[in-house]
Amino acid sequence: MATKNDIITLPHPDLRKKSARVHVITDDTLALINDMVNACLDWESSRPHEVAVALAAVQIDRLERVVVVRADFDNRENQDFIALINPEVSKTEGQPTIIQPEGCLSVGGSLYGMVKRYPKVRVKALSISGEVVRIKAEGFLAMLLQHEIDHTNGLTFVDHIDQDKEAFYTLNKNGDLEKADYDEVAARGIFR
Residues acting as catalytic residues: 148
Which residues are bridge partners to 117 per DSSP?
A: 97
In 3D space, the residue among 148, 141, 7 whose CA is nearest the CA of residue 65 turns out to be: 148
C-alpha span between 81 and 83 (Å, rounded): 7
How big is the CA angle at 153 (ends 177 and 158), to the nearest 5 degrees?
A: 25
- Sorted by sequence, the CB contacts under 8 Å of residue 81 that are 6+ apart come out as 33, 36, 37, 40, 68, 69, 70, 71
In 3D space, the residue among 102, 50, 56 whose CA is nearest the CA of residue 73 turns out to be: 50
C-alpha span between 192 and 171 (Å, rounded): 24
Pairing of strands 97-98, 177-179: unpaired
Which residues are bridge partners to 72 per DSSP?
A: none
